[in-house]
């Protein structure tokens, strides 16, 4: 299951030579580690022995977390409540460049691995702590992606009036992990000149506030209360999901005056194109209710495929309405090397999207498959100087798993 599925070696990647010790579960912390691992860092995930990370066993909407965010990582399963287990991790930290964690506030301090503790183990460590909140009045509160979406107005903006709705993906967890990775890479770069490590923090709440900043500024600029997305006044007159003759749906956007002329020509709406009162975008926004029924009627006369072909020829923004599972066979993702293979817990192989970035023509896929619990424990301990006999004894004592 821990097979190599990509011929790109870690030595050829941007973060080659960086060792990261990851204390993380769920989404935020593992996303940070995923970014670093995909870019070539050696990420060693610390899992509790004997059962491993509880994220492995989530069901429902969390069933995909483990496989999504843990490729290209090594697994060391150890009992941190034991003195021998803590000694193993301490030795590992001495060899590390980065430590990441996203446990509840105080948890790492409780086991003797808070930032001040770890600095005594490795003075120049870059220590990234990802929490619900950055230091402040809320920092001891328990947070979830859903919690901070409600607190910042993101859920208010997503749902219809009076029905706040969380976004359809773990947007804050994922972006919070990404900002953690950005902070880590900046700290590593700074360390080149200063020789010093530092504490990097990322917060879910602050991430969600960053996401809604555009709506905060909208209120300041316009002086008007901001409406949720389903009832907002769009910045563009055509920016909607439309029904087609075959009972399918397509999103179409017209976001410039040039596109408006192309749009009218493509769909035979010559009277609209000739109307001088609709020549400018803001004029069209003000008159949406007058001409949008005509546009909807026109689209109801043609098929989904014909609508998309006309938009494509005219260079207009459009999108069929898809479900996440439709992306497994998406031709663009497949042909642009935007997918990589991983193995599911039951042994099946599947495709999954890679990092949405290309560097000098390189995409960053799977080098190490998603690990089984403790897959790399014995190898890592041998690197730290433990003998096979010592490793076997620690396994027998329940300090290690996977040996």
pLDDT (0 to 100) of residue 323: 96
Q: What is the dihedral of CA 165, 169, 171, 175, to 10 degrees?
A: 170
How confident is residue 58, by pLDDT bands cut at 50, 70 and 90?
A: very high
* Residue 286: Cβ-neighbour burial (10 angstroms; 0-12, 13-18, 19+): middle
Bridge partners of 42? 19
| The predicted structure's pLDDT at residue 231 | 85
Length of the chain: 403
Confidence of residue 5 (pLDDT cuts 50, 70, 90): very low
DSSP 238-303: EEEEEE-TTS-EEEEEE-SHHHHHHHHHHTT-HHHHH-GGGSSHHHHHHTHHHHHHHHHHHHTTS-
Please report where in the chains the tokens 């299951």 appear, as a residue: 1
Parse the chain into domains and list their residue ranges.
10-211+336-401, 234-323
| pLDDT score, position 10 | 67
What is the mean predicted confidence (pLDDT) over 151-170? 96
- Confidence class for position 7, pLDDT limits 50, 70, 90: very low
- Choose between 9 and 115: higher pLDDT: 115
| Domain 234-323 -> CATH class | alpha beta
In tens, the pLDDT along 251-264 reads 999 999 999 999 99
Residues whose CB is less than 8 angstroms from the CB of residue 294 and which lie 6 or more positions away in sequence, other chains included: 269, 272
pLDDT the model gives residue 234:
84
Is 0.85 surpassed by the pTM of this model? yes
Q: 10-211+336-401 has which CATH code?
A: 3.40.50.10540
With DSSP H G I counted as helix, E B as strand and the rest as coil, what are the percentages for the chain, rounded to 5?
45, 15, 40
Of 33, 43, 38, which is closest to residue 8 (Cα–Cα)?
38
Q: Residue holding tokens 């027998």? A: 396
199: β partners: 127
**Is pLDDT above 70 for 9?**
no
Residue-wise pLDDT for 288-328, tens only, equals 999 999 999 999 999 999 999 999 999 999 999 999 999 99
| 174: its two tokens | 């994922």
Supply the pLDDT for residue 6: 45
Helices marked H in 95-161: 107-110, 115-121, 145-152, 154-158
């Amino acid at each position: 299951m821990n097979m190599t599925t990509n011929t790109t070696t870690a030595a050829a990647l941007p973060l080659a030579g960086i060792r990261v010790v990851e204390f993380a579960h769920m989404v935020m912390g593992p996303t940070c580690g995923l970014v670093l691992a995909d870019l070539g860092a050696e990420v060693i995930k610390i899992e509790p022995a004997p059962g491993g990370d509880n994220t492995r066993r989530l069901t429902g909407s969390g069933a995909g977390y483990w496989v999504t965010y843990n490729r290209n990582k090594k697994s060391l399963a150890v009992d941190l409540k034991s003195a021998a287990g803590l000694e193993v991790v301490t030795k590992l930290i001495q060899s590390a460049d980065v430590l990441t964690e996203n446990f509840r506030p105080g948890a790492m301090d409780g086991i003797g691995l808070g930032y001040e503790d770890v600095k005594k183990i490795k003075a120049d460590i870059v220590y990234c702590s990802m929490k619900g909140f950055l230091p402040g009045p809320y920092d001891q509160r328990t947070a979830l992606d859903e919690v901070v979406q409600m607190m910042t107005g993101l859920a208010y903006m997503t749902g219809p009036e009076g029905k706040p709705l969380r976004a359809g993906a773990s947007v804050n967890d994922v972006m919070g992990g990404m900002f953690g990775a950005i902070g880590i890479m900046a700290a590593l770069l700074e360390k080149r000149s200063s020789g010093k490590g530092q504490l990097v923090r990322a917060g879910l709440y602050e991430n969600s506030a960053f996401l809604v900043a555009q709506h905060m500024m909208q209120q300041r600029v316009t002086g008007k209360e901001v409406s949720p997305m389903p009832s907002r006044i769009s910045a563009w007159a055509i920016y909607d999901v439309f029904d087609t003759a075959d009972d399918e749906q397509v999103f179409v956007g017209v976001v410039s005056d040039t596109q408006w002329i192309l749009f009218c020509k493509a769909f035979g709406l010559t009277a609209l194109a000739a109307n001088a009162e609709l020549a400018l975008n803001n004029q069209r926004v003000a008159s949406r209710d007058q001409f949008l029924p005509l546009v909807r009627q026109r689209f109801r006369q043609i098929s989904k495929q014909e609508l998309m072909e006309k938009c494509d020829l005219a260079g207009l923004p459009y999108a069929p309405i898809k479900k996440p599972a439709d992306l497994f066979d998406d031709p663009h993702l497949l042909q642009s090397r935007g997918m990589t293979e991983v193995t599911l817990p039951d042994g099946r192989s599947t495709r999954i999207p890679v990092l949405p970035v290309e560097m000098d023509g390189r995409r960053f896929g799977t080098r190490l498959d998603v690990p089984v619990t403790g897959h790399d424990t014995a190898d890592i301990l041998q690197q730290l100087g433990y003998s096979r006999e010592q490793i076997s004894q620690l396994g027998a004592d329940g300090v290690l798993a996977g040996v």
